[in-house]
Structure 1
Amino acid sequence: MGAMVLVLLGTKKGAFILKSDAARKDWELSGPFCETWPMNHVVGVPRTGTIYAGGGNEWFGPAVWKSEDLGETWSHSSQGLAYPEGHDPITAVWSLAAGHGRLYAGVSPAGLFSSDDGGLSWSPIEGLQRHPTRPEWQAGGAGLILHSIVPDPDDEKQIWVGMSSVGVFHTGDGGETWEPRNSGTRCDFLPEGQKYPEFGQCVHCIVMAPGGSGRLYQQNHCGMYRSDDGGKNWASIENGLPSSFGFPAAVHPRDPETLYLLPLNGDIHGRYMPDAKAAAWKTRDGGATWADKRAGLPQKNAYLNVLRQALAVDRLEPAGVYFGTGSGELYASRDEGETWDCVARHLPSISSVETLVVER
């Protein structure tokens, strides 16, 4: 019967799902799910079709919700999502990722947990918590959060994580040991002579390019970067962008040279799209040059903010691109970001956007 595309939204008032066929012209919205808990990240696992939603806050506590029937029914668990007595309690799940049959959850205060039973129970990856730099980790604007999890699709032992304001850390042994990988990324908020520390960078998002080359892209509080060696070294690719500041990044599902960004006007100037004119920025050459894509996006009074997990692509041909705003709109492109349509309005503030393509 063909492919069905699901766009999975995490919002401040639960999870929502938009569904369409492969043409992606007409969308059906359902939700809110997860009993309107604040949902920071909703993801789908292509191999199984299972949907997971991570969220919570100081009142609800942390939990990961699960649906095995594309959103019809949900259950949730927080078993094991806790630090030992005497440590600051976990307030929320901030990010989710699946890889090699395992599910990962990033939490606040920053830490990483894993589940081998589909989210029913969780165990801490203690090597990250034991890192000698841990006592010096500092919170970013949203707190001390682990918001990016990048498992290597070919090597189950390799994982990259991004934490604010800590930086990028990497493990090559399944989480037993970790090392900072921040060489070349700036800390503009530090005094001269201290702008390139080993750790302490305010990373906003990290994504891996397809193809197994070890290429990573990073949107940072202080610049946009690319690494071609698994994060050991980073080079700035912000030349040509209207701002070095933004939150999300999304890489094309098949082309490692094509990347999408949503720059904002800066960290202290309102954090909305420059000149209040909406644009998605696209590179086809790994960040050497950039082009703004505005067709179908509002070009007047568009004081839009897009959070760190609210930009995604699907795997169809041509690829679809989607982003959600803090004011509750979802914009979608069926032609790899060249033109855009607003496919949902008046939703709660959107925290995350992910896609899931299933065969019917």
Structure 2
Amino acid sequence: MATRMMLLVGTKKGAFILEGDAARRDWSLRGPFCETWPINQVIADPKTGTIWAAGGNEWFGPAVWRSTDGGASWTHSSAGLAYAAGETPIKSAWSLALGPTGTLWAGVEPAGLFRSDDGGDNWTHVTALTEHPSRADWQPGGGGMILHGILPHPTDPDRLWVAISVAGVFATEDGGASWAPRNRGTRQDYAPEGERYPEHGQCVHALAMGAGNPDRLYQQNHCGMYRSDDGGRGWTSIEAGLPSSFGFPAVAHPRDPDTLFLLPLNGDQAGRFMPDAAAAVWRTRDAGASWQALRQGLPQASAYFGVLRQAMAADTLEPAGVYFGTSGGALFASADEGEAWSCIAEHLPTILSVEALVRDG
């Protein structure tokens, strides 16, 4: 059967879908979907093709949308997606992930985690994370106090990592009944001297997992780029050779645990755009020991755009395709692991997330 490519794009004004074939040269665009709600992340089940979109705001409230027909029609649910009466209301659903046994996880703002065991119809609050003793110290980052990253273990449903701004990385090994911070070795540059390596309180921006090695994690932090080889219990800086220690998205190769794609920005106080206003995706083939800038086809002048934490993805084809969307609404694609790039969509709303789905049929 023919391979069918879909790019799932979340934006400030709804979700969009781009469709192409295995060549990844020609794309068609559909959308906006989800009634043009702000959509923070869109994911899909590669086995069934079901699509979920997390979004909302303080006006609409939070919800997770679902499509079972490739985006032709959508429903949404917020049943159970709420904190107890008297607590700060949830503004939006921010992140999604599908576990190995079909559990759907959702991260929200203010930071918390919910699970659904019926495909998103009903949600249950994972209270042990919100009740962690460090909770009183969690602070909002530039985008709010959000749980923006969820990494399920690929085979063990009890293991899960989450990323919270500003609180750090937390992990569970018992299905969410208990949680432990996993931040040792990551800096907090804005803390007083002598307090820059705390147990929690770091501003993690993105998490990625090495293919075939669930204990190999990569982290783009507000204050550096890191790798862990023990499931986040300890982190090693791998930012040497990069143009900046600051950025948002980090995407792992689908087959090689030593290959990672990264989009550094010029710094948190310098505009948060492409370094020297020249766009590049940086790639490591040796787990961060060295980095290469990939620029062919990307704008090398006046590139004053940013790329947000969920707005980069890789597909599972050979060679892997890599994609990223910009704050200015442009979507770039590479069909050869970043060697050459082309712009496949322009003038979209601010792109908040990109996900690649490969299906037969």
TM bucket, shorter chain: over 0.9
With normalisation by structure 2, the TM-score equals 0.99
User: What letter is aligned with 2:69?
Assistant: D
Question: d(CA) in 1 for partners of 2:148 and 2:47?
Answer: 23
1:160 aligns with 2:150: no
Give CA deviations for 1:51-110 in whole Å, capped at 9, x if unaligned. Answer: 000000010100000000111110000000000011100000000000121100000000
Partner of 1:319: 320
Partner of 1:180: 181
Task: Measure how far apart 1:213 and its partner are.
Answer: 4.6
Aligned length: 360
Partner of 1:15: 15
User: What letter is aligned with 1:109?
Assistant: P
Secondary structure in structure 1 of the residue aligned to 2:197? coil
CA contact (8 A) 2:96 2:107 kept: yes
Instruction: Give the alignment of 1:15-54 within 5 angstroms.
Output: 15-54=15-54
Instruction: Give the alignment of 1:200-219 within 5 angstroms.
Output: 200-219=201-220
Partner of 1:248: 249
Task: Measure how far apart 1:212 and its partner are.
Answer: 2.8
Partner of 2:98: 98
Question: d(CA) in 2 for partners of 1:213 and 1:175?
Answer: 18
CA contact (8 A) 1:112 1:125 kept: yes
1:226 aligns with 2:246: no
1:269 aligns with 2:270: yes
User: What letter is aligned with 1:228?
Assistant: D
Partner of 1:71: 71
Task: Measure how far apart 1:5 and its partner are.
Answer: 0.6
Question: d(CA) in 2 for partners of 1:186 and 1:48?
Answer: 41
CA contact (8 A) 1:94 1:146 kept: yes
CA contact (8 A) 1:154 1:212 kept: no
Root mean square deviation of aligned Cα: 0.6
Partner of 1:290: 291
Question: d(CA) in 1 for partners of 2:283 and 2:137?
Answer: 36
User: What letter is aligned with 2:124?
Assistant: S
With normalisation by structure 1, the TM-score equals 0.99
Question: d(CA) in 1 for partners of 2:210 and 2:116?
Answer: 25
User: What letter is aligned with 2:87?
Assistant: H
Question: d(CA) in 1 for partners of 2:159 and 2:33?
Answer: 33
Question: d(CA) in 1 for partners of 2:36 and 2:346?
Answer: 17
Partner of 1:87: 87
Question: d(CA) in 2 for partners of 1:46 and 1:58?
Answer: 31
Question: d(CA) in 2 for partners of 1:161 and 1:141?
Answer: 18
CA contact (8 A) 2:154 2:214 kept: no
Question: d(CA) in 2 for partners of 1:55 and 1:195?
Answer: 34
Question: d(CA) in 1 for partners of 2:68 and 2:289?
Answer: 42
Question: d(CA) in 1 for partners of 2:303 and 2:336?
Answer: 22
Question: d(CA) in 2 for partners of 1:245 and 1:340?
Answer: 23
Question: d(CA) in 1 for partners of 2:78 and 2:208?
Answer: 27
Task: Measure how far apart 1:132 and its partner are.
Answer: 1.0
Secondary structure in structure 1 of the residue aligned to 2:327? coil
User: What letter is aligned with 2:201?
Assistant: G
145-154 vs 127-136, greater mean Cα deviation? 127-136
Task: Measure how far apart 1:2 and its partner are.
Answer: 1.4
Partner of 2:237: 236
Question: d(CA) in 2 for partners of 1:220 and 1:40?
Answer: 19
Question: d(CA) in 1 for partners of 2:214 and 2:275?
Answer: 33
1:143 aligns with 2:135: no
